[in-house]
Amino acid sequence: MSEHVTTVIFDLGNVVLPFDPLKPCAFLAGMAGKTTDEVMHLIYDNNLERRFEQGMIDGDQFTERVSEVLGLELTTNEFHDLWADMFTENREVSAIVRQLLPHHHLILLSNTNPWHWQHALKHFAIVSEFKDCILSYEVGVLKPHPLIYRAALEKVSPFERVIFIDDVEINVDAARIMGMRGIHFRSADQLRRELVTLGCRL
């Protein structure tokens, strides 16, 4: 089977780069005199981050909307630096990526916004090693919408065997509907085992 496994598509957040939105939200909570949970609700449950990741609003508009709901007067520059700083690197996953690179076409497929993407490129070298990147804010839709998977599959030659990896199970299920093999990511060791089982060369 191994000779047929040609493309592996990785999610970014919480697979290659773990992230913690509580970090900037806790800082904002201190500024606004609110709890961290209140800030999370006002930004995420109001779909402000979601709209930013879909490319429906730009950085200035995102800053303006967050300032309004939190009762703050944030500048785009200060909010950019604060909101971008929530990532670390899963070095075990990065090692797997680098082992796959000589043998497979690797694609990154991420629900992300331009601030997070530029931060990831600047601070984590592994991100630049992917041949192709499909980003929600450029495509205009989020996983699990079929269009974002189609954008990734357009980078793949016909009849190639494709594996998709994501930490969110509904996103993996959507990829399977599109004809891909799916791996629900839980750990680097589990990922390595499943990739080998599916025929990847490591």
Q: What is the pLDDT of residues 44-60, one digit of tens each?
A: 999 999 999 999 999 99
- Indicate if the pLDDT at residue 7 is higher than 80: yes
Q: Average pLDDT for residues 66-83, to the nearest whole number?
A: 97
Query: Is the distance from CB of 41 to CB of 35 less than 8 angstroms?
Result: no
Listed in sequence order, the residues at least 6 apart from 159 whose beta carbon sits closer than 8 Å to its beta carbon are none
Confidence of residue 2 (pLDDT cuts 50, 70, 90): very low
- Give per-residue pLDDT as tens, 122-150: 999 999 999 899 999 999 999 999 999 99
Do domains 2-18+88-197 and 22-84 share one topology? The answer is no
Topology annotation, domain 22-84 = DNA polymerase; domain 1 (1.10.150)
Q: What is the CATH number of domain 2-18+88-197?
A: 3.40.50.1000
Q: Give the Å distances, CA to CA, from 184 to 41, 130, 166, 171.
A: 27, 20, 6, 9
- Average pLDDT taken over every residue of the chain: 96
Strands (DSSP E) found in 4-52: 5-10
- Indicate if the pLDDT at residue 67 is higher than 80: yes
- Give per-residue pLDDT as tens, 19-44: 999 999 999 999 999 999 999 999 99
The Cα 132–Cα 152 span in angstroms is 8
Q: Where are the domains of the chain?
A: 2-18+88-197, 22-84
- Indicate if the pLDDT at residue 13 is higher than 60: yes
